[in-house]
A and B are shown apart, each in its own frame.
Chain A
């Protein structure tokens, strides 16, 4: 109840016929797509097995999911990545895989919710992740004779992300990101980026492995590199994410319905 209640009758405020996708204004989706495309120009690591390089945009796909929600975030990242493969071919890698990875990262990040009508989404995502890991690791060991330890070590970011997503840690991520405490927010962004980027890596890894069937030598070479790359995504995700979320909170721009921050 307000002090000095206004004389007019209170009305129900709704967004009538507005241009939104899953509660996120189209304008936001367009802007974040453009940001993803812009970051596609910046390489942050070489692709050892295929050549070329990874785009820095990989570090913000999870952030896009937290800002826009799983569906609008996936669309924004997917469109941004799709445009990125054309305008920045030096970071395109396998274009279709690049786009799928963007979509998965934002979708997984946006789905790290608790206490919402979409809380159950974690289950099919986890099952899909387990299937991908089984197909990925199974093919490596059964068909290509890669040893168990090499698969376990080489797929460290994939299974650790899957595990952290399946456990209640996913809810902790969204709780921390929404915290007013900047330290907790940064921790949530870091942990969440590790999980979402790791899950995206798992799906991409499965597809590319079926295409290239790398032998054990490649696995062994990649064991120390892949976690470092994911840590780089985490570092960039924290750096950009804390600034963006702090700024969004400060300027009070209308919050998309599924936003986590």
Chain B
């Protein structure tokens, strides 16, 4: 067995001004060349554990620390962070927070310069690490010109240049689109397999960790609940659900099948395992599990949002939208999806007149947006931006929610009553006096949503609302979108997390490179894998399993969720063991 590169011995930790331990009695050994995944719900202590590898916890934060962490033979409390940084590279969730230079090569050189590496050596290392993360030829590009995935790979390259023995990544893909996430996982896997770099990655990306990690550690409330290969942890579906974690879609599907009486000796955790295991079950499948809508619902009356031949070209000449035409009616729940740069946000910004068409027209309730003011539109169309922090600028939750109302010539009583209603709807009464930035990200998003709801808009647009959220947080936000929809609001959600949307959206608009690729009911679009692939999207694993079944049986199964796939198989075979 390879020797240990890092060991945690009875480690417990408490942040300053806190009374609770955020890590408790952690004993863990990370072996050289291993790819270790850290999983657990929000607040489990994953980030704190990551920061303990290079002494940031507790040296920078202070607090109370018990036990010992040794990395490459160095006690992290007895050596400066700068020394530990030679052995441990850390890549954070948001690459923007760790990129400081004005060019790709300067970014890589920065840490090396601080470690007094000779200039010639720095110049020699830059092309090597850029090649390792596939950013060759971008040496002189400004980091801001890079895509999200490229920025994250630049952050990894900057860490690699220091030649660490251990690379720690804290949710490196949570803010990336599928292409970016795939790029990062592929890079990390290559570093692990080909260069032997030890990897520790905290992530909610269950499908990817199941594919790439050698071992998982499950944390909850600061303690290790279990550890072992992905096949051991992800197959404990009930435990995962109890901790608000999401096992891979394929595992959940077979879990439901097992519950339905099928004999499934081992739950698969990767898609390939799942497809291989589901085909023998195909004989049990003989009906179309597509009770949902397959044709667009007929709509009467004037559309609430009407887009006609919309083209938008930015000042720098980039054509972001090309000849888009669509109608959105009152009470619809629409998912807009597509790769980064597909034009999704550009499209919805026209609904708020934050952008004006270069060509074509956008009408809100029959009135061209050109004839409406932004403030008038803001009352009818609410926009929840991707990063809630960008919409927060008051010092208490209550002030934040009431902020816009004060500028609408509204009576004080009405402002108070709307603020209270919004706070209640979002469950924020208990934190009304807290600073919004002191709340967890999920609650910060709810503050922004509450502020939007207080305006009582007809349409609410959520721009990537699940980015950076854990499964529980993402589901909570989506449940809220459903509540709004049920209350009669028109809801538009932009996301590329398709696996989350099956239970919510009715209609899907797929965009790619500024054009409208498809506009149809979700059950149709999710099964048009070629259309999705053309804009770098992957359907949920349940859809892929259903397609494998369709291929095996010839019966079209337009399932969207693990439950539906399991339902299609057990419809007439409950109790039958295959």
Residues of chain A having any CB pair with chain B under 8 Å: 2, 4, 6-19, 25, 242-243, 246-247, 249-252, 254
Contact = CB atoms under 8 A, between A and B. Distances in A.
B60 interface: yes
Interface stretch (B73-81, B142-150, B314-322): B73-81
Nearest to A10: B66
Contacts of A18: 59-60, 80-81
Contact of A8 (B15, B17, B67, B79): B67
A8 B68 contact: yes
Contacts of B138: none
Contact of B24 (A6, A15, A249, A254): A6
Contacts of B437: 247, 250-251
A7 B79 contact: no
B435 A250 contact: yes
B81 A11 contact: no
Nearest to A12: B77
A250 B65 contact: no
Contacts of B16: 252, 254
Given A18-B59, A252-B17, A10 B65 contact: yes
Interface of B: 9-12, 14-17, 21, 24-25, 55, 58-68, 77-83, 395, 434-435, 437-438
B58 A13 contact: yes
Nearest to B84: A16
B77 A13 contact: yes
Given A6-B12, A13-B65, A16-B55, A243 B21 contact: no
Nearest to A19: B82
Contacts of B65: 10-11, 13
A173 to B, nearest CB: 21
Contact of A15 (B59, B78, B435): B59
Contact of B395 (A6, A11, A12, A247): A247
Contacts of B78: 16
Contact of B66 (A9, A242, A246, A250): A9
A2 B81 CA distance: 28
Contact of A11 (B17, B24, B61, B68): B68
A207 B402 CA distance: 49
Given A6-B67, A246-B435, A254-B60, 9 more contacts: A6-B21, A6-B25, A8-B68, A10-B65, A15-B60, A17-B83, A18-B80, A249-B435, A254-B62
A18 B82 CA distance: 8
A121 to B, nearest CB: 25
Contacts of A250: 395, 434-435, 437-438
Contacts of A16: 55, 59, 77-81
Contact of B25 (A7, A14, A243, A251): A7
A8 B65 CA distance: 9
Nearest to B58: A13
B151 to A, nearest CB: 20
Nearest to A182: B395
A14 B435 contact: no
Which 10 residue pairs across A and B have the least CB separation, nearest first?
Answer: A8-B67, A17-B80, A250-B435, A8-B10, A6-B12, A250-B438, A8-B66, A6-B66, A13-B58, A16-B80
Nearest to B75: A11
14 contacts: A7-B66, A8-B25, A13-B58, A13-B63, A13-B77, A14-B59, A16-B79, A17-B83, A25-B60, A246-B435, A249-B435, A250-B395, A252-B17, A254-B60
Given A16-B80, A18-B80, A254-B61, A246 B68 contact: no
Contact of B21 (A2, A13, A242, A254): A2
Contact of A247 (B62, B83, B435): B435
A19 B81 CA distance: 10
A16 B16 CA distance: 17
B67 A9 contact: yes
A17 B82 contact: yes
Nearest to B55: A16
Which of B10, B16, B59 has the most A CB atoms < 10 Å from its CB?
A: B59
A8 B75 CA distance: 14
Contacts of B68: 8, 11
A16 B438 CA distance: 28
B440 to A, nearest CB: 12
Nearest to A16: B80
A4 B25 CA distance: 11
A18 B60 CA distance: 8
A25 B65 CA distance: 21
Contacts of A7: 10, 12, 25, 66-67
A8 B21 contact: no
Contacts of A251: 435, 437-438
A19 B82 CA distance: 9
Contacts of B25: 6-8
Contacts of B395: 242-243, 246-247, 250
Which of B55, B67, B79 has the most A CB atoms < 10 Å from its CB?
A: B67
A232 to B, nearest CB: 22
A13 B81 CA distance: 13
B10 A6 contact: yes
B60 A13 contact: no
A254 B56 CA distance: 11
Nearest to B64: A10
A17 B59 CA distance: 10
B312 to A, nearest CB: 32
A255 B172 CA distance: 28
A189 to B, nearest CB: 14
Nearest to A8: B67
A250 B434 CA distance: 8
B66 A252 contact: no
B403 to A, nearest CB: 14
A7 B12 CA distance: 8
Contacts of B81: 16-18
A15 to B, nearest CB: 5
Contacts of B10: 6-9
A4 B434 CA distance: 30
Contacts of A12: 77
B165 to A, nearest CB: 20
